[in-house]
Amino acid sequence: MTSTRHEPATLDEMAATIRTHRAAGVRLIGAGTKPALVGHAPDPSLQTARIGEILLSSRRLTGIVEYEAAEFTITARAGTPIRALDDALAENGQSLPFDPPFAGATLGGAIAAGLAGPGRVRFGGVRDFVLATTWVDGHGRVLRSGAKVVKNAAGFDLPKLLVGSLGRLGALAEVTLKVLPRPRVQQSARFCFGNFTSAYEGLVRLLQSPLELDGLEMVEDATLLVRLGSPSHASSAPRLARLGRVLGIPPDSIAADDEGATWRAMAACRDLQPEGCETGALIKVALSPRRIPELEAILRSASWARRYSAGGAVAWIAVPAAHYDRARDDASLEALDRHLASLALPALVVRGAHLGEARRRDPRLGHRPGDNLLARIKRVLDPDGVLPPLDCSPTA
Amino acid sequence: MATPPRTQPLLEALETHFPPARLLRAPAQLVPYESDGLTAFRARPQAVVLPETREEVIEIVRLCHRFAVPFVARGSGTSLSGGSMPIEEGIVIGLNRLDRILSIDPIDRVAVVEPGVINLDVSEAAAVHGLTYAPDPSSQQVCTIGGNVAFNSGGAHCLKYGMTANHVLGLEAVLADGEVVRLGGNSLEAAGPDLVGFFCGHDGLFGIVLEITLRLIPTPEHQQTVLAAYRSLEAAGHAVATVVGSGLLPAALEIMDRHILRAAEAAVGVRYPPEAAAVLIVELDGEHDAVEADFARLESLMQKTGASSLRVARDADERAQFWKGRKSAFSAVGRLSPQYLVQDGVVPRTRLAETLVAIEALSEHYDIPVANVFHAGDGNLHPLILFGDDDRLAEAEALAAEILALCVRLGGSITGEHGVGMEKRAHLPDMFGPEDLAMMAALRRALDPLEIANRGKMFPGGEAPALSSRGPHPLEIAGIASRE
């Protein structure tokens, strides 16, 4: 796979790169806006360029552009690592409310992949916090969409459209996010149920209760991991006790020293793919609590590791790699694709370095609601297919 | 007025589908549809058609596309930006009869509704499950979900819960050329571009939403509501900065100035401290113990803000009283001035105080009173320009334009929650460059090649090319006189 890598340092350079290579009729891969989940050494799964294609990286397009803490908004360039943003926000007692799951990712990658972490259960996902974007479409036009204030109803909501767009509609150069105060005290506990059904019922009970949780994960098959964010230690203890009453079993508290690390591991899916063992495929399924039992039945029979995250809004699935057998790996994914389609659940392959080229170029699995609308949008923003195709219709 | 040539065959086709009771043609029947919440303008459509099923809506849209006749979808007509204003060459599609709540799923915490369902009815239907629908526009007792989606409506509790788009998980819609699309689903998440979010706030230009999957939240079990009076609007503005900066996340943070207070007192009999030049309402909601812990902090913070009085709602009744004046503010202002324009600009929250001072100066300059009621917590202003009678409309619009320009200059937006509609279309280029506007117009044409869906809204210039030879925009003419 011979491809040329371009690393523009400015917005204008980014636009010029797209325009130049567009004129030459060369296809272009927005590497910087694809889910660069493992940071600056891009996951091989993202190296989908064919001979002659250009890889566009936002690696040099970094830095915070505007951040006034009292405004609770932050604007940064797309290549800024999530970790750097988080550090800057932490200094002012703030954080990214959608809890981006992979700290090594870039801002652009996190937005374009549309990935939220366990914390989304409290305040919402990526779509709920993207206020404005500066981006370049397939024509090479520099576009400024949205507004850098927390509320705006002017013009079409292009910033939301770009959430989860995987570099198919444009390359992100700059993003403005709404941020929130970081909870002062966080306390977590495990609730271990004897079986899947009881744990699932517990999850549903918590979702229907007025309890405001900062984290609610269904791990392994019968354990709920719950997080509470409180203004003070004093208010935290009675809330934890109340959780136990709602669930009918006592909490197994997690020590304060381990609390942060436990959730960071969840965010990075270390329970499914331990560090250094990211060889298989990692898949995000957009889910709702009612569908958990159906999906669980399929995953259990396939023996794939899974976790129901963010109160059941997401399932994370790890499909292990069959060593040196790409055909078998692809077959596993195709089986999962069919199952998800039959359940009408949309999904995304987040890691999958070992997969065949077709799957790496089209990381979406299962149900694809609105593809007819998306194809029309693609024809406006990237009519010549300068950016990667949607792979959702023969004409795209 | 003669029926425009293209409309006649459409009306004939509609007559074969709809009985006269659902295809309104007589002038007396059309009058209620001439205007919406932007009362300064009116226009009479050729007809109003009242579908009762989604299939009928799709059929009407396909006929409009076939005969190239513009249509305006309308719910209760509460748009404050003229978003549901009819167009004289076109028809109105009234969606109030598509008012069924199709299902409520307490496990997924979603309600599936038709576009004509009234906002408040969703929460009332969900209450039995301990759930509620969070977006609460002031007009929530009458406004419909279809309109809320088209204009991405907000409300007082947006500060904590977000706008309509944050609560729409799935949609079925008929695009303006008749194709039906299904977007999203029951999940809070997606795998691919956020098409649902993109579709919210389209100002009616993409087509008509047929079915909406709304996210419900557990009804907050506890609230604490504080009403603080201040001797100046600026002091209230500073109090907002104090609360926001503290790291507390109130459900609502609202300011009313003295014009609004007096009007609300007269209209709904709420009593406010007599010395108040401004009142700030702060509401915390959520889990009992968390609210109480936050409330202790809020009280001590508020005591340092120089409030002349501080009242805490003792019970649900008193809380409702605090809100009654706020939610009736727009209608109450009718007592001060029969004619007014409502603005909806947004400024960065840290620039709130200076914005209020600048608006006051503009009010003096134009010698037109401006009342202020606003969602202070997110910097969303609602200056009400009380221009008295029609002959000062042009000046009022000039004053409104200066306020919008100010919001944009400070890095904000021309609209926070009302949408651009007809009223602010001339100001869209203040926020977006020519390439952005061209891109948005191209997206619109990709979904509506004939530009028949809510033609004349959002984009500057009004008329679509096909009709530009027909003279001045009918709405501008209609603004001067209502024609029988």
Together in a domain, A37 and A114: yes
For residue B161, the model assigns a pLDDT of: 93
Domain boundary among A203, A233, A267: A267
Which of B175 and A56 is assigned the larger pLDDT? B175
Please tell me the distance from the alpha carbon of residue A186 to that of residue A261, in angstroms, as a whole number: 12
**What DSSP letter does each residue of A121-136 carry, written as one string?**
HHH--GGGTEEEEEEE
Using the predicted structure, report yes or no on whether residue A302 has a pLDDT greater than 50: yes
CB spacing of A379 vs B201 below 8 angstroms: no
Cβ–Cβ pairs < 8 A, chains A and B? 278
CATH of the domain at A251: 3.30.70
User: A94 lies in which domain range?
Assistant: 1-182+369-396
Q: Each residue of B169-179: b (16+ CB within 10 Å) or e? A: bbbbbbbbbbb
Domain boundary among A199, A234, A267: A267
pLDDT tens digits for A231-257? 777 777 888 889 999 999 999 999 999
Together in a domain, A288 and A259: no
Together in a domain, A167 and A50: yes
Could you give the angle at which helices B352-366 and B233-245 cross, rounded to 10 degrees?
Answer: 160
Q: Hey, of A150, A233, A284, A380, which one would you mutate to test binding to chain B, going by the most B CBs within 10 A of its CB?
A: A150
Whether residue A5 is contained in a domain is answered as yes
Q: Which of A244, A107, A116, A122 is nearest to A183 (CA)?
A: A122
Asked if B96 contacts B202 with a C-beta cutoff of 8 angstroms, the reply is no
Whether residue A276 is contained in a domain is answered as no
Residue A121 distance to chain B (closest CA, Å): 9
For residue A28, the model assigns a pLDDT of: 62
Please tell me the distance from the alpha carbon of residue A377 to that of residue A394, in angstroms, as a whole number: 15
Contacts by B290-295, CB closer than 8 A, 24 or more apart? B290/A212, B290/A230, B290/A231, B290/A235, B290/A239, B291/B220, B291/B222, B291/B223, B291/B224, B292/A235, B292/B222, B292/B224, B293/A230, B293/A231, B293/A232, B293/A234, B293/A235, B294/A231, B294/B224, B294/B248, B295/B224
Taken in order A248, A252, A258, A261, the sign of the CA dihedral is negative
Rounded to 5°, the CA angle A202-A203-A204 comes to 90
Rounded to 5°, the CA angle B241-A125-A8 comes to 90
For the ranges A128-137, A289-298, B33-42, the lowest mean pLDDT is seen at B33-42
Q: What is the dihedral of CA B59, B62, B64, B66, to 10 degrees?
A: -130
Alpha helices in B338-416 (DSSP H): 352-366, 393-409
Which residue from A128, A154, A163 is facing B413, i.e. has the nearest CB? Answer: A154
Please tell me the distance from the alpha carbon of residue A31 to that of residue A13, in angstroms, as a whole number: 15
Please tell me the distance from the alpha carbon of residue B69 to that of residue B63, in angstroms, as a whole number: 8
Domain borders along chain B are 7-96+441-480, 101-218, 223-327, 332-420
Q: Hey, of A149, A295, A308, A371, which one would you mutate to test binding to chain B, going by the most B CBs within 10 A of its CB?
A: A149
Architecture of B7-96+441-480 per CATH? 2-Layer Sandwich (3.30)
**How far is the CA of B397 from the CAs of B383, B421, B424, in angstroms?**
12, 15, 10
Residue B128 distance to chain A (closest CA, Å): 12
Q: Which chain B residues are closer than 8 Å to A370 by Cβ?
A: 181-184, 195-196
Closest Cα in chain B to A134? B436
For residue A345, the model assigns a pLDDT of: 97
For the ranges B20-34, B201-215, B340-354, the lowest mean pLDDT is seen at B340-354
Please tell me the distance from the alpha carbon of residue B346 to that of residue B163, in angstroms, as a whole number: 14
pLDDT tens digits for A9-22? 999 999 998 888 87
Instruction: Quickly tell me which residue has 């009992």 as its tokens.
Output: B288
pLDDT tens digits for A112-127? 989 999 999 999 999 9
In percent, the amount of chain B with pLDDT more than 90 equals 73
Asked if A172 contacts A33 with a C-beta cutoff of 8 angstroms, the reply is yes
Alpha helices in B304-424 (DSSP H): 316-327, 329-333, 352-366, 393-409
pLDDT tens digits for B376-420? 999 999 999 998 877 888 999 999 999 999 999 999 999 999 999
Please tell me the distance from the alpha carbon of residue B368 to that of residue B386, in angstroms, as a whole number: 6
Please tell me the distance from the alpha carbon of residue A276 to that of residue B432, in angstroms, as a whole number: 46
For residue A51, the model assigns a pLDDT of: 52
CATH fit for domain B332-420, picks 3.30.70.2740, 3.20.20.10, 3.30.420.40, 3.30.70.980: 3.30.70.2740
> B158 CB near a chain A CB, below 8 Å?
yes
Whether residue A274 is contained in a domain is answered as no
Average pLDDT estimate for A347-360 = 79
Residue B73 distance to chain A (closest CA, Å): 18
Q: Which chain A residues are closer than 8 Å to B152 by Cβ?
A: 153, 157
Closest Cα in chain B to A289? B108
Alpha helices in chain A (DSSP H): 11-23, 82-90, 107-113, 120-123, 158-162, 196-208, 233-247, 256-267, 292-302, 326-342, 357-361, 371-381
For residue A27, the model assigns a pLDDT of: 59
Structure tokens at B218: 């557990």
Residue A87 distance to chain B (closest CA, Å): 17
Q: Considering only the top CATH level, what class is B223-327?
A: alpha beta
Instruction: Quickly tell me which residue has 């250009």 as its tokens.
Output: A54
Cα A170 from chain centroid (whole Å): 18
Asked if B479 contacts B393 with a C-beta cutoff of 8 angstroms, the reply is yes
Together in a domain, A158 and A195: no
Closest Cα in chain B to A241? B289
Phi-psi region of A106 (alpha: psi -120 to 50; beta: other; left: phi over 0): beta
The DSSP bridge partners found for residue A281 are A319
Q: Which chain A residues are closer than 8 Å to B458 by Cβ?
A: 155
For residue B146, the model assigns a pLDDT of: 98
Query: What 3-state DSSP class applies to B476?
Result: helix
Q: Which chain A residues are closer than 8 Å to B414 by Cβ?
A: 154
pLDDT tens digits for A358-385? 777 788 999 999 999 999 999 999 998 8
Overall number of domains in chain A: 3
Which residue from A210, A211, A289 is facing B108, i.e. has the nearest CB? Answer: A289
Q: Which chain A residues are closer than 8 Å to B80 by Cβ?
A: none
CB spacing of A369 vs B195 below 8 angstroms: yes
Residue A354 distance to chain B (closest CA, Å): 21
**How far is the CA of A59 from the CAs of A9, A38, A74, A264, in angstroms?**
8, 13, 19, 24
Please tell me the distance from the alpha carbon of residue B256 to that of residue B177, in angstroms, as a whole number: 44
Taken in order B353, B358, B361, B362, the sign of the CA dihedral is negative
Q: Which of B67, B71, B19 is nearest to B45 (CA)?
A: B71
Together in a domain, A330 and A299: yes
CB neighbour list of residue B84: distance below 8 Å, 6 or more residues apart? B36, B72, B73, B74, B75, B77, B78, B147, B204
> B414 CB near a chain A CB, below 8 Å?
yes
The answer for B 258-317 residues in CB contact with A (under 8 A) is: 286-290, 292-294, 297
Asked if A108 contacts A58 with a C-beta cutoff of 8 angstroms, the reply is yes
CATH topology identical between B7-96+441-480 and B223-327: no
The answer for B 58-117 residues in CB contact with A (under 8 A) is: 105-110
The answer for B 129-148 residues in CB contact with A (under 8 A) is: 129-131
Structure tokens at B200: 């919210």
For the ranges A107-111, B343-347, B474-478, the lowest mean pLDDT is seen at B474-478
**What DSSP letter does each residue of A242-279 carry, written as one string?**
HHHHHHTS--EEPPHHHHHHHHHHHHTTTTTS-TT-TT
Asked if A313 contacts B189 with a C-beta cutoff of 8 angstroms, the reply is yes
Average pLDDT estimate for B136-155 = 94
Residue B238 distance to chain A (closest CA, Å): 12
Q: Which chain A residues are closer than 8 Å to B432 by Cβ?
A: 144, 154-155
CB spacing of A151 vs B183 below 8 angstroms: no
Please tell me the distance from the alpha carbon of residue B454 to that of residue A367, in angstroms, as a whole number: 31
Q: Under CATH, what is the fold of the domain B101-218? A: 3.30.465
Q: Which chain B residues are closer than 8 Å to A287 by Cβ?
A: 187, 189
Asked if B90 contacts B49 with a C-beta cutoff of 8 angstroms, the reply is no
Q: Which of B180, B110, B54, B146 is nearest to A370 (CA)?
A: B180
Together in a domain, A321 and A215: no
Which residue from A71, A157, A365 is facing B197, i.e. has the nearest CB? Answer: A157
Structure tokens at A16: 């010029």
CB spacing of B185 vs A114 below 8 angstroms: no
Alpha helices in B410-453 (DSSP H): 428-431, 434-447
Instruction: Quickly tell me which residue has 């029309």 as its tokens.
Output: A376
ipTM of this predicted structure: 0.94
Please tell me the distance from the alpha carbon of residue B164 to that of residue B417, in angstroms, as a whole number: 9
